[in-house]
């Protein structure tokens, strides 16, 4: 997983300026094995983006990423999962 360092610094800031979460933590500890992944809107580059809702250190979060070929993903945003995302995640296991 790679990222733009300016975006990472912004994302690490506490709300309301950021989300208080670090891409580096997601790279190392995001639970991909239980994540719900869906395609999202395309970014400025026109490439597909994906939203992965899953657990990071016991907290349900949503990580937005784009694919960089077959070798890497680029972290775009990491935030606490919204109520809608929480409900959708919970409904998967019912």
Residue 48 φ then ψ, to 5°: -65, 145
Q: For 76-93, what is each residue's pLDDT tens digit?
A: 999 999 999 999 999 987
* pLDDT interval class at 28 (50, 70, 90): very high
> Which of 71, 66, 70 lies closest to 40, judged by CA?
66
Instruction: Tell me what the pLDDT averaged over the chain comes to.
Output: 93
Q: Which CATH superfamily is domain 2-92 in?
A: Ribonuclease toxin, BrnT, of type II toxin-antitoxin system (3.10.450.530)
* pLDDT interval class at 48 (50, 70, 90): confident
Measured in whole angstroms, the distance separating CA 90 from the mean position of its chain's CA atoms is: 17
Lowest mean pLDDT among 15-19, 43-47, 76-80: 43-47
């Amino acid at each position: 997983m790679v990222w733009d360092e300016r975006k990472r610094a912004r994302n690490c800031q506490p709300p309301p300026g950021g989300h208080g979460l670090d891409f580096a933590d997601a790279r190392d500890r995001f639970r991909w094995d239980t994540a719900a992944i869906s395609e999202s809107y395309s970014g400025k580059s026109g490439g597909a983006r994906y939203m992965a809702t899953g657990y990071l250190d016991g907290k349900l979060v949503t990580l937005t990423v784009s694919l960089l070929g077959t070798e890497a993903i680029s972290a775009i945003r990491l935030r606490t999962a919204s109520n809608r995302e929480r409900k959708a995640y919970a409904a998967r296991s019912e």
